[in-house]
Structure 1
Amino acid sequence: MTVPAQDSARTGRGRLVLIGLFVLFFGSALGAGMLRFSGWMPAGLKNHGELLQPPVDLRQHPPQLAGGGHYAWEPEARTWRILAVAPAAGCGADCAQVLEQLDKVWRLFGHKADHVDVLWLGAPPPDAERLRVLHVLQDDAALRGALPRSADPAGIPLYVVDPNGFVILRYRPGTDPGHLRTDVARLLKLR
């Protein structure tokens, strides 16, 4: 029994379509697996700050407010913190500039700003009392020592602290405040 030429061409086309679908499905899965295991990540999913591995546990060093009293972590409130560490020797214009940037970042959170506290470790600049969101902490050597590279000669490092009191991100001095805002805004969505 002979197969007509038309059926043979149709069978060949069917095989090519089947092979094409196979390559399309398994090829994309193979490509995605290669990207995943090579460490590649889309730019929109990368954080701008340095991810601290392991996170630093600040629950062992409970901060005290400069005006007296204790700053409680209160994990059930789901409040994220931005911690600025001023140089122990004091600072001038750099502190005022960082404080202004932190105030702007905090305001840009809009209705979610109530879920972000800005903490300042060390002596604040003279006009710091105008910011109602700022919590000035007493300078504590143990707290400074717990933070990685807090005595940065380049300026004021910033840290992101989760609601439980773990430091998860560090930003080097002079970091673009927009990067800090982007990362914290992404974290606020986890509420």
Structure 2
Amino acid sequence: MNRPVDPAQATRNRNRMTLVAIALLFFGALAVAGFLRFSGWRPAGLKARGELLQPPADLRRVAPVLADGTQYAWNPATRTWRIAAMARDCDTTNAAACADVLSQLDTVWQLMGRDADRVDVLWVGAVPANGTRPGTLRAVRASDALRDGLPRSSDARGPVVVYILDPNGFVVLRYAPGFDPGDLRTDLSRLLKVN
């Protein structure tokens, strides 16, 4: 014989099951998020397109000297990011390739829009005579301290290696010769939004 079902008991059981289901959804989502976080997975939209330098190279103690002989100050209070281009043989054999990279950097700089004034373009080495120049271009004299501070600055694949430096003077991203300027623009625009 079937026992009569108490409506109050049935409601309590249904409420308990709903509470258990909500708790499972909540803690299950936390468990999945924790697993993904500690496994190293990151959404494709959050990954840097350039080579993320771990740990970042520290150029704070290096005092770059501009082509006119004055010293370039890092001055972190201005919150200025830098695109540094380490060039070699741009005045001789690689003039056309260097001019092309300089024009690409100008395009990236212009696409920064209202944030373009917060980005300095440092060209380390001889600046090519041809090519469009960004408004904040600073010609920097090449030195051993700069070469040593910029990781893998001489790359056999091309004459120019490009870096992004944070306002404090840390080198955070590296772009090998032949990089896509769109990748540089994407990474730099994300960094400008954060800072």
Structure 2 length-normalised TM: 0.88
Which runs of structure 1 show a deviation greater than 6 angstroms over 4 or more consecutive aligned residues? none
The answer to whether structure 1 residue 157 and structure 2 residue 161 are counterparts is yes
Q: Distance in 2 between matches of 1:111 and 1:3?
A: 75
- Work out the percentage of aligned pairs sharing the same amino acid: 54
The answer for the alignment partner of 2:80 in structure 1 is: 79
Unaligned runs of 5+ in 1: none
Higher share of residues assigned helix: 1
Is contact 1:128–1:134 with CA below 8 Å preserved after alignment?
no
Instruction: Name the SS for the 1:189 alignment partner.
Output: helix
How far has the Cα of 1:51 moved from its partner?
Answer: 1.6
The structure 2 residue matched to 1:118, chosen from 118, 121, 128, is 121
How far has the Cα of 1:68 moved from its partner?
Answer: 2.0
How far has the Cα of 1:13 moved from its partner?
Answer: 2.8
How far has the Cα of 1:131 moved from its partner?
Answer: 4.0
Greater mean alpha carbon deviation, residues 47-56 or residues 71-80: 47-56
Instruction: Name the SS for the 2:102 alignment partner.
Output: helix
The answer for the alignment partner of 2:44 in structure 1 is: 43
How far has the Cα of 1:122 moved from its partner?
Answer: 1.1
Unaligned runs of 5+ in 2: none
The answer for the alignment partner of 1:65 in structure 2 is: 66
Q: Distance in 2 between matches of 1:28 and 1:145?
A: 46
Q: Deviations over 1:100-125 (max 9, x none)?
A: 11000000111110000001111121
The answer for the alignment partner of 2:149 in structure 1 is: 146
The answer to whether structure 1 residue 127 and structure 2 residue 130 are counterparts is yes
Change (3 A) 1:81 1:49: same
Report the count of equivalent residues.
Answer: 190
How well do the aligned residues superpose, as a CA RMSD in angstroms? Answer: 2.1
The structure 2 residue matched to 1:97, chosen from 88, 97, 100, is 100
The answer for the alignment partner of 2:56 in structure 1 is: 55
Structure 1 length-normalised TM: 0.90
Q: Distance in 1 between matches of 2:134 and 2:180?
A: 21
How far has the Cα of 1:171 moved from its partner?
Answer: 1.2
Q: Deviations over 1:36-81 (max 9, x none)?
A: 1111111222111222122212122211111221111111111100
Q: Deviations over 1:75-109 (max 9, x none)?
A: 11111000011125752221111111100000011
Greater mean alpha carbon deviation, residues 9-18 or residues 70-79: 9-18
Is contact 2:164–2:173 with CA below 8 Å preserved after alignment?
yes
How far has the Cα of 1:130 moved from its partner?
Answer: 4.9
